[in-house]
Amino acid sequence: MKQAAIQQEEVANTKEALKAGWARVAQRLKGELGDDLFNSWFARMDAEDFSRGQLTVSVPTRFLKSWIENHYASKLRKVTETEFKGLQAIIVRVRQQGEAARATQADGTRPAQAERSTVAAQQIQALLTADRESVDESQTFDNFVVGSSNQLAHAAVMRVAGAASGQTLSFNPLYIHSAAGLGKTHMLNALAQKIRIHQPARRVLMLTAERFMYGFIHAIRSKDTLAFKDQFHNVDVLLIDDFQFLQGKAMQQEFCHAFNSLVDTKRQVVIAADVPPTQLDTIDQRMRSRLQGGLVVDIETPDLAQRRHILDLRYMIMLKNDPSAVVPAEILDLVAERITGGGRELEGALNKLIAYQQFNKAPVTIDLASMVLRDAAGASETGRVKIEDILKVVSRHFNVGRNDLLSARRAREVVMPRQIGMYLAKKLTARSLPEIGRRFGGRDHSTVLHAVRKIDEQMKNDEKLARELALLIRLVEQQ
């Protein structure tokens, strides 16, 4: 009995020594890394055993284990060696959910906290994977028209679709950019579906930047950001759409962590955005550099032959749904000639013609089609104007520096040209209000809306301003 008591005391002393030594390691890590990095990667690491020169530590997620082993192994060993003499190896293992709950209760934390953590993880997973169910099944490679404008982007996406799980491609990430409506989202939907059909074991996650931000905010509120991080560890192919809307330093840091983890472990990342990496003004320079390190391809506006092919496909689908929607070939030729934008503009123009035909109960003639398409053709031209051109023209015309237009300065000689620039961006481009605000120094969409309404109102009573805006529009269109 006495011998057993002595052994129990030795075990207790060993556990106390392990706990005390690990507390000192944690304190040193926090001091060297700072609170943010320590809380992100080490706050939930526990020391479990130290024997025969081997220290075993545990973490709650596979993502955390992978990240620490790939990015902090040498730092962890260096700090740990000072407290655990004779250290030869550090083993990082993933705790099971039941283990985590028992350990938490043993430390005196309420069991409900562990239950909330599990619920939070499930909610975060549901938030992120909701996009899996919302993939547009109508957008496939079978109805995607390939031409000179998108040939390289299509070839790159098909390489990703055909790669085996774990296969290293010569480019990662793949970054696709173009103006709105030229097929980026169609490509991502088609890619997700092709992989899921032909390689079901290959795990695909498709997200918008907005969904990513929403998931991260939910994780912060649930106080379980590790559950958020872990969702990306199980992904073989990550598809991110509308990347230009990723806002906020914390959001970008989290995306950077997920991105680096996937790329470093040879998992594929495909990103679609309205602008190239160099024009992602609010994104950290290091992140922009990593994006440029992959394959960056743009999609241009389709040529006449490609537009005609797109119309044929859209028209065939409409005809299946409504056999009465008859549009002669010469009218389709006219649409392809007049509408110089992408698939959305072409489909919109076709819908408009069919609506006129059905409402008037008369066939569409060339003259009627010309009249109907007049406004649509003008709208499609807005896709050609760039916000950068507007900034250049406004800056030169009002003799105001570009940096001043993007700054927080409130002087009248800056505010008025800035509002005119926002007004022109809304009228001459297809950019959304949030995107215009972002390009004008990271302003809120409500600021852009206020500027547009103010200039509209002033033009009604200010003939000089109206003439000046007409001049600016001509100057922008000549760029």
Domain 304-381 belongs in CATH node 2.60.40.10: no
Share of the chain above pLDDT 70, in %: 84
pLDDT over threshold 90, residue 221: no
Q: How far is CA 107 from the centre of its chain?
A: 39
Bond from prior residue into 173 cis (ω within 30 degrees of 0): yes
- Place 108 in a pLDDT band, splitting at 50, 70 and 90: very low
Hey, what long-range contacts does 433-437 have (CB within 8 A, 24 or more apart)?
434/245, 435/244, 435/245, 435/274, 436/387
Chain segment 379-436, per-residue pLDDT in tens: 445 456 788 889 999 999 999 998 989 998 888 889 999 999 999 998 888 778 888 9
Mean pLDDT of 166-176: 83
CATH class name, domain 151-298:
alpha beta
Q: State both tokens at 201.
A: 């074991």
Asked if pLDDT for residue 130 goes beyond 50, the answer is no
Q: How far apart are CA 446 and CA 442, in angstroms?
A: 12
Identical topology for domains 2-95 and 304-381? no
- The mean pLDDT of the chain is 79
In the chain, where the domains are located: 2-95, 151-298, 304-381, 385-477
Round to whole Å and give the CA distance between 470 and 466: 6
Output the pLDDT for position 174. Answer: 93
Q: Would the pLDDT of 1 be above 70?
A: no
- pLDDT, residue 11, reads 40
- pLDDT tens by residue, 179-197: 878 889 999 999 998 988 8
Among 46-55, 149-158, 237-246, 458-467, where is mean pLDDT lowest? Answer: 458-467
Residue predicted with more confidence, 232 or 145 = 145
The pLDDT of residue 263: 84
> Which CATH number fits the domain 385-477, given the four candidates 1.10.3720.10, 3.40.190.10, 3.30.70.360, 1.10.1750.10?
1.10.1750.10
Q: How many CA atoms are closer than 13 Å to the CA of 385, on its beta-carbon side?
A: 27
Q: Looking at the predicted structure, is the pLDDT value of residue 441 above 60?
A: yes
Q: Which two tokens stand for residue 65?
A: 């284990």
Lowest mean pLDDT among 38-42, 87-91, 123-127, 229-233: 123-127
Specify whether the CB–CB gap between 341 and 384 falls below 8 A: no
Q: Phi and psi at residue 464, in whole multiples of 5°? A: -60, -45
Confidence check: pLDDT of 366 > 80: no
DSSP state of 142: T
CA–CA gap between residue 126 and residue 130 (Å, rounded): 6
Question: Average pLDDT in the 3-19 region?
Answer: 56
Query: For the structural domain made of 2-95, what CATH number should be given?
Result: 3.30.300.180
Q: Supply 220's token pair.
A: 């912060």
